[in-house]
Structure 1
Amino acid sequence: MSIRTLIRGGLVVTASDELHADVLIEDGRVAALAAHASAAAEAWTADRTIDATGKYVIPGGVDAHTHMELPFGGTSASDTFETGTRAAAWGGTTTIVDFAVQSVGHSLREGLDTWYAKADGNCAVDYAFHMILSDVNERTLKEMDHLVGEGVTSFKLFMAYPGVFYSDDGQILRAMQRGAANGGLIMMHAENGIAIDVLVEQALARGETDPRHHGEVRKVLLEAEATHRAIQLARVAGAPLYVVHVSAEEAVAELAAARDKGLPVFGETCPQYLFLSTDNLEEPDFQGAKYVCSTPLRPKEHQAALWRGLRTNDLQVVSTDHCPFCFRGQKELGRGDFSKIPNGLPGVENRMDLLHQAVLDGHISRRRWIEIACATPARMFGLYPQKGTIAPGSDADIVLYDPHAEQVISAETHHMNVDYSAYEGRRITGRVDTVLSRGELVIDQREYTGRAGHGAFVPRSTCQYL
């Protein structure tokens, strides 16, 4: 039986508005909003009333880039869909878009069905899928049309990782042309993987094996070159383009130049590039391995360009690229050879809090926080207004956020299934208090009340910016 819920007394913050309003929830959706203490709000009755006095009432976060249970480098990401979505809920994220993987020689259907099976019945919050194209051919190009029809409307290709995920320019162009025809959005990992492999081989031959060399060989210019090339291929194909995990000033400049021409080109960055740097990769005693990801962490001076890109809308989304590997037993696979360190960082639980700290630090506004973490990813990937906002008819994915609570991020207290935190010891202000997913309490005043299997697969429409 559906519970009628009333959230009273909070400051509702969306990408477009801030208002002191009460929120009425029925049948898992937002039924109405009304000014606090107004006649309309006072007339409402409910089975359950939640006091939001002194708190923000914000849409649940939409993390459009996660990798739960991803096989990589002889091991697998340490978060399952169960542990990862539970951690997401603790961090105020109520929808993830994960990446299903097509293996070379296999169909898209096989890869997608494998990911359906991993997620089904295990998720604490709602989920959707992108599709990684590892083998572009006539059969898989036709399959793209079918996937768009069932709500998997975005496809990721890699200019990196030759022999694993890599696609050449011809394959990329064909996939972009298909996306232009069927409405699918092409997502691009933009690094020149062929050139990087040469630099890796040369570095190892010189005896440069420590984690810091991972960042040194994956050069800024090779990210910028690949970003430029991807943009030009998208122009030839007449297709939109979404560049994932942008890490460097030069790549932002390529996106800005394309957008200045009016091209449908979009960019995402991640908290690790905004808050961490090559200083972390250089930590002694192999501790730098904790921070190995691709694209890699950059020198601190790149952070200003990323924040500026978020303010000017040359970057539109902050996702996590959550892909955790434990330090012990997983990251340690790369001792003596940085190229064998599994690539990825944990972060699905930290994104909303870190971005709130960015509001307090003056990098972005409060509404921009909600825009880049909730509304824009929902629009970009065909989930809006079901997700990403608080409006009549939207799913009641709602977070009560305490903007004054102080916390210290630590592996001792986080809920991700990984033995370290990338932000260990960082003091921040702001914390999730209560989380509802489709009107059901998942976090209730800092107590987990959710369950595996509550989260449902959400079919997506096509990108709403086109």
Structure 2
Amino acid sequence: MRTVVRGGLVVNATGAAPADVLVEGERIAALAAPDAGLTDGWAAAADRVVDATGRYVLPGGVDAHTHMEMPFGGTTSSDTFATGTVAAAWGGTTTIVDFAVQAKGTSVLSTLDEWHAKADGQCAVDYGFHMIVSDVNDNSLKEMDACVAAGVSSFKLFMAYPGVLYATDGDILRAMRQATGNGALIMMHAENGIAIDQLVARALAEGRTAPVEHGLTRPPELEAEATGRAIQLAGVTGAPLYIVHLSSAPALAAVSQARDAGQNVFAETCPQYLFLSIEDLARPGFEGAKFVCSPPLRPVEHQAPLWRGLRTNDLSVVSTDHCPFCFAEQKELGRGDFSRIPNGMPGVEHRMDLLHQGVLAGELSLARWVEVASTTPARMFGLYPRKGVIAPGSDADIVVYDPTATQTLSAATHHMNVDYSAYEGMEITGKVDTVLSRGRVVLADDTFTGAAGHGRFLRRDLCQYLH
């Protein structure tokens, strides 16, 4: 199958230039300037020509933080690998990296097998796995080495959720030491869960049960404290560290200080922290439950420092932490007790579009948009140059993006398997036009043309910022 994408502005992390793209099979075969005299011949011999006139031609988005079919709080996130990857494609994301979640008392490798069974034959776009290690012991530490050999080269630990996912400082230290030996990247959910539980218990004892209390009992200071502590532990062991879903200015300051000192510390943020705030958690009645996630949404004054962190590269990646729970049946579990509201929000479909609003507002350049949404996550998690770039030899994961089209975000029109939109009624500029996943057109003319099982598991290499 030969496809030519003609007439567009190719945008990579290194810059933008008019170019036509030749795709042969699953790979990008060549790029040429429109006036180079090559592309007429390409088009004549092509099976399909995609007209990208007036549009951007982007490398497919890489969302390095999703939770499909994740068990949490007595329920399971509502997007399956099938529905969630279709929604990702609609939003211009052609690769996800999801999390296999070890339960305490189980094996890391058996957990990985379980998640492979969930995803195999279901995904519409390519996917990889991180491993959540909730039970650090001699056996799980050895199994971390086997995971790296199997293409799972990053491990997430939690400083939150005591009794469920929580790791002690000693556990974290041991896992970090293991990572220094096998080359893996340690990812950290950095909130002081022990202190948070005390604040939650006090709020409930005082009768404060509304959704906004979720945010008030997880203050920025406890995210900053945990972030700083994780950085110090990483410094002791020499391990690299990746802070997930960073939400607040003081946590960012801790990351910035470590990076300025030369430590291998990286961080991501998420669209919800750039566009939503604790005011959404405080919506009347139980509406705020729709916005319960951890870390929580912050006061609006935290947004400007996060945008600045993206420009300065103290924040390296924008992922979604996509973990949807339906309002009617799942978020309702916490009515009358905010601590029982399942933590998570939908977002995998809207990441590229929301970041484009940052481009229009002057917060990000076109190249930086691609860098934080595609190229850097591909490099960070051992997928580059297969993913994250429009270049000969790379997978033909290509998004044709119309920067002038307008749309209104709504649960009535999104494709995520959840009954509400966190951005309901938000009018935005920019829309995905056409999506290729490994050379196959999976979205065109407002129609999904892909299929479950097209997506392949990606065996990932080590973080390319370290090796």
State TM-score, norm by structure 2. Answer: 0.99
Give the Cα separation in 2 of the matches to 1:419 and 1:439: 32
Provide the residue aligned with 1:308 in structure 2.
Answer: 308
Provide the residue aligned with 1:127 in structure 2.
Answer: 127
Provide the residue aligned with 2:35 in structure 1.
Answer: 37
> 1:319 is aligned with what amino acid?
S
Cα deviation for residue 446 of structure 1 reads: 1.5
Cα deviation for residue 148 of structure 1 reads: 0.3
Match of 2:15 among 12, 17, 23: 17
Provide the residue aligned with 1:182 in structure 2.
Answer: 182
Provide the residue aligned with 1:64 in structure 2.
Answer: 64
> SS where residue 406 of structure 2 aligns?
strand
> SS where residue 82 of structure 1 aligns?
helix
Give the Cα separation in 2 of the matches to 1:304 and 1:21: 34
> 1:251 is aligned with what amino acid?
A
Cα deviation for residue 425 of structure 1 reads: 0.5
> 1:264 is aligned with what amino acid?
N
Cα deviation for residue 64 of structure 1 reads: 0.1
> SS where residue 23 of structure 2 aligns?
strand
Structure 1 residues 187-266: aligned runs within 5 Å? 187-266=187-266
Provide the residue aligned with 1:320 in structure 2.
Answer: 320
> 1:106 is aligned with what amino acid?
T
Cα deviation for residue 37 of structure 1 reads: 2.9
- Aligned residue-pair number: 464
Cα deviation for residue 43 of structure 1 reads: 3.1
Cα deviation for residue 366 of structure 1 reads: 0.7
Give the Cα separation in 2 of the matches to 1:278 and 1:296: 8
Give the Cα separation in 2 of the matches to 1:41 and 1:62: 28
Moved over 6 A (4+): none
Give the Cα separation in 2 of the matches to 1:129 and 1:31: 28
Query: What do the CA deviations read for 1:176-218 (whole angstroms, capped 9, x no partner)?
Result: 0000110110000000000000000001000000000000000
Give the Cα separation in 2 of the matches to 1:7 and 1:17: 18
Provide the residue aligned with 2:454 in structure 1.
Answer: 454
Provide the residue aligned with 2:83 in structure 1.
Answer: 83
> 1:322 is aligned with what amino acid?
H
Give the Cα separation in 2 of the matches to 1:453 and 1:107: 27
Structure 2: where are the runs of 5+ without partners? none
Give the Cα separation in 2 of the matches to 1:314 and 1:8: 36
> 2:274 is aligned with what amino acid?
L
Give the Cα separation in 1 of the matches to 2:382 and 2:25: 22
Provide the residue aligned with 1:167 in structure 2.
Answer: 167
> SS where residue 387 of structure 2 aligns?
coil
> SS where residue 210 of structure 1 aligns?
coil
> SS where residue 431 of structure 1 aligns?
strand
Give the Cα separation in 2 of the matches to 1:439 and 1:294: 36
Q: Once superposed, what is the RMSD of the aligned Cα atoms?
A: 0.6
Give the Cα separation in 2 of the matches to 1:441 and 1:42: 21
Provide the residue aligned with 1:52 in structure 2.
Answer: 52
Cα deviation for residue 47 of structure 1 reads: 1.6
Provide the residue aligned with 2:420 in structure 1.
Answer: 420
Cα deviation for residue 347 of structure 1 reads: 0.2
**1:4 corresponds to 2:18:** no
> SS where residue 230 of structure 2 aligns?
helix
> SS where residue 186 of structure 2 aligns?
strand
Provide the residue aligned with 2:270 in structure 1.
Answer: 270
Provide the residue aligned with 1:98 in structure 2.
Answer: 98
Give the Cα separation in 2 of the matches to 1:348 and 1:418: 12
Provide the residue aligned with 1:369 in structure 2.
Answer: 369
> SS where residue 386 of structure 1 aligns?
coil
Query: What do the CA deviations read for 1:272-314 (whole angstroms, capped 9, x no partner)?
Result: 0000000100001100000000000000000011001000000
Structure 1: where are the runs of 5+ without partners? none
> 1:74 is aligned with what amino acid?
G
State TM-score, norm by structure 1. Answer: 0.99
> SS where residue 296 of structure 2 aligns?
coil
> 1:143 is aligned with what amino acid?
E
> SS where residue 155 of structure 2 aligns?
strand
> SS where residue 19 of structure 2 aligns?
strand
> SS where residue 39 of structure 1 aligns?
coil
Cα deviation for residue 40 of structure 1 reads: 2.6
Query: What do the CA deviations read for 1:308-328 (whole angstroms, capped 9, x no partner)?
Result: 100000000000000000000
Give the Cα separation in 2 of the matches to 1:22 and 1:335: 54
Quick check: 372-381 or 32-41, which moved more? 32-41
Give the Cα separation in 2 of the matches to 1:454 and 1:445: 20
Give the Cα separation in 2 of the matches to 1:103 and 1:237: 25
Give the Cα separation in 1 of the matches to 2:210 and 2:115: 34
> 1:395 is aligned with what amino acid?
D
Quick check: 32-41 or 283-292, which moved more? 32-41
Cα deviation for residue 38 of structure 1 reads: 1.3
Cα deviation for residue 110 of structure 1 reads: 1.2
Give the Cα separation in 2 of the matches to 1:311 and 1:177: 32
Query: What do the CA deviations read for 1:57-77 (whole angstroms, capped 9, x no partner)?
Result: 000000000000000000000
> SS where residue 109 of structure 1 aligns?
helix
Give the Cα separation in 2 of the matches to 1:160 and 1:21: 47
Give the Cα separation in 2 of the matches to 1:461 and 1:48: 33
Query: What do the CA deviations read for 1:378-428 (whole angstroms, capped 9, x no partner)?
Result: 000000000011000000000000000000000000000000000000000
Provide the residue aligned with 2:151 in structure 1.
Answer: 151
